[in-house]
Each structure stands twice: as C-alpha cells, then as structure tokens.
Amino acid sequence: MKKQIIKERILNNGVRIITCPADKEEFTLAVYINTGLRYKNNKTELAHLAEHLVTKGNGKIDADRTRDFFITNKIIKSDAGTDHSNINFTLLTKEPKNSSELVDFLYHVVINEEYKEKEFENEKSVILQELATWSDMGKDHLYHIFVSKLFGFDYDIKERLKLVNKLTIEDIKEYKRQDFQPDRVFVFASGSFDETKFNEDIKKTFGRLKLACSKRDKTFIFDKSHKEIYLPSIKFGHILNYFYLGFCIDYRDFLGLMFLSRVLDNSSWTGRLFYELREKRGNGYSLETSVERFYNGLGFLEIYSGVYDFSQACDIIFPMLKRLKSKDIPEEEFEFVKETVEYELTNELGDSFSRIEFLYNSIASGLIRLPYDLSQFSAKSLSPADIRSLANKYLNRNYTLVAITNPFTENKPIREFVQHL
C-alpha cells in the first residue's frame, strides 16, 4: 500500500478535522458525531430518527433543495447511518472543486432544527416498521439485545416501539442541542482537494459550532469482567450465538482478531464442522464471524452459529478452540489466511467510505494515534505464534459473553460450554 499520512487538526471549539489525501480525482466529506448507546441516557432511537431526518426540514435543508444540490454538485454517492456509538453523514463527489458546497451542506445538516410535522411522522413510521422487522429476524434481534446488554441496558422491543411513538419534534431538537456538541464532532475529508481552501471553509462553518448546554452526559465505561447472558425464551428458530469479547488496545490485537475471524469462518480448521454436522449427521448449520469496534475502546469477535443441536455443536467447537489455543496454524494455511486479511484491508482502505468509517472507529477507539501512515496498518508482521497467543488471551471465560436463543436448550449444557473455555 502506498504511503498515506493521516493528519488531524482540532479547532478551538473541539471539532476534530481528519484529512486523508488520496490520488483519486474525487472528494469525500463525512461528519461523525459521538452519540448513542454508549451514553447512560440510552438515546439510540433518537439518533436513529435524527439520521432519518437528515434531508428533511425547512430552509436550507429540505428534500427538494437536497435533490438539486446532489445534481448540481455531482454527488455520486451519499449515506447517513447510525449505530450504538455514532451518527454519521457522508457525501462523495467526482468534482473536488465543489468541496466548499459539501462542507456548507453538511454543516447545515448538523445545525438544522426545523422539521415539517408530516415528514417527521412519516420517518417515525419507517423506524417503527424497521424495529418490528428486526424483532422477527433472530440474528439481528439478538445482536441488538447483546450490544444493549453490553452497555448496561435491557433491550425490550415493545418498550422501544412505545418510545418512538411518543417522540416529538421538540424531543429531536433537545437531543441535537445536547448531543451534537462540537467536542463530539469528527469531520473527515478524503481525496484530492485544496487543503488550504478546505481549512478556510471549515473555520467558517464547523468552527462556529458552540457548546449549547452546560449539562453533559457521562460516557459509559464498559465493565470488562466476565458476563453471561441466557436468552432461552426467544422463540425464533434454533440459533446458537456466542460472542468472544476483545479489548483492542493496539492495532496488532485488532489485526489478530481479524485473522482469528477468518480462520474460524473459512479454513480447513473449520472444515470439520461441515463434515461432521452436515455430511455425517445431516444437521443444518451456519457459521459467521466478524470483528467490531466501538468508540470507548471495546472491540469484539463475534462467532455466530445456527445449529439445531447445541450439544453436537459443542462436540465440534470445543476441540477446534482448544487446538487454536495449543497449536500453531500450519505455515501454508497461515500465509493463505494472511493474504486474505491483507486483501480485505486493501479493499476496505481503498474505498473512501470504508476508509473513513475505518478511520473513525480506529481513531475514536484509540486503535491508532495521529498523525499516522495508513500503509503501516498491515497483517504482514503477524506470525503463527502471535495468533496462538491471541487465542489464549481472548478465547477464555474472562472475555466471553454467551447468548443462547434456542428454546429447546437448557442452561446445563450452556454452563458446561462456558466451563470448557
């Protein structure tokens, strides 16, 4: 990967400006705001609604003007999103000379508080439909329960539906006044653009953001002690989920967890799962893994396995985890997985949207410190011994949260599973 120096500038009001130059003749601008479940007041649905209202309102930001803006400034890709730690807005134009217009537009997205009642109610209806859909999808529903528990909240879909139903425009205004504070704002600029001009535009816009309230919410600090969650009463399918939590202190741990994810997801080490469960026993199953990072430094490796028989799955998985912790991965296979991880990193960091999302997660969680050469983020230096060490560090009871959603599974085999770690 070519050398790419990521730089940061912090404005007097606390807004963090991150620039990542690239050779492509394009300009991508993103705003990330730290808000969501990581705060004690549990504002997930307010953030979700604010995201849906990004192009709604009166004055500078409304649906008609947004359409005209996108056409005039050749916006070829846009996105608005929210998760448990942030709300974000991203625009990409093939015309870097239009950078000033993009800065001004996203600034008004952040400060906009004027919404039309009909549009507001329409977006509330959409969110209610989305929540109802999630409640019918086992894996997605469990994910939301898991993350809510992780941050100290109970996830009750009925209560969330009631909450959204009661939300008013005044609630959104107050939420934005409290949470859209300058010291929670990250502005990312990527591509080929005039940095001097960009800095002047930022000063005229985001540099004007002021602290709107003196009362601030405290950041929730996750308790790293062992936790177990049992959810045998959820009545969808026969799903086994268990999540290995990793606290990503540095980039090598994150890369190692990414490596472990690929070994567990698609390698000869997991081939026995398919052979034993599908070929020999005739049981259906699925296995997926992912690595996630949150603002407060928490990361986790998720192992999701859909199976009918919990005990049979444990018969296969226990030896696999034990082997990962006691033996090095064979050199040839290790090199293959390493190439896979490098390929994924190159693709992720090559796309401006993915690169900015990666940088936000990495910078906000303390995974990397700026200035930083992005080309250094590589799995090339990892060895089989590193992975075995990491497996012993994270694949144990101290970093494990177990969530079971098979209504036919009793607690006894679950406890036996935890004891094996």
- Domain 240-420, second-level architecture: 2-Layer Sandwich (3.30)
Average pLDDT over residues 196-205: 95
Lowest mean per-residue pLDDT among 100-109, 247-256, 325-334: 247-256
pLDDT of residue 332: 85
Whether pLDDT at 12 is above 50: yes
Reported as a single tens digit per residue, the pLDDT across 281-333 is 665 555 556 666 544 444 555 555 555 555 666 666 667 777 788 888 888 88
Phi, psi of 402 (to 5 degrees): -110, 130
CB 21 within 8 A of CB 13: no
Distance between CA atoms of residues 173 and 50, nearest Å: 9
Distance between CA atoms of residues 9 and 17, nearest Å: 5
Distance between CA atoms of residues 10 and 12, nearest Å: 7
Average pLDDT over residues 205-226: 60
Phi, psi of 49 (to 5 degrees): -70, -40
Reported as a single tens digit per residue, the pLDDT across 336-380 is 889 988 888 888 788 899 889 888 888 877 777 888 888 888 888
pLDDT of residue 225: 43
Candidates 195, 192, 303, 299; CA nearest to 240 is 303
Q: Pick the residue with more confidence: 222 or 120?
A: 120
- Residue 322 C-alpha from the chain's centroid: 29
pLDDT of residue 297: 45
pLDDT of residue 206: 97
CATH superfamily for 5-208 is Metalloenzyme, LuxS/M16 peptidase-like (3.30.830.10)
Domain boundaries along the sequence of the chain: 5-208, 240-420
Q: Which helix (H) or strand (E) holds 84?
A: none
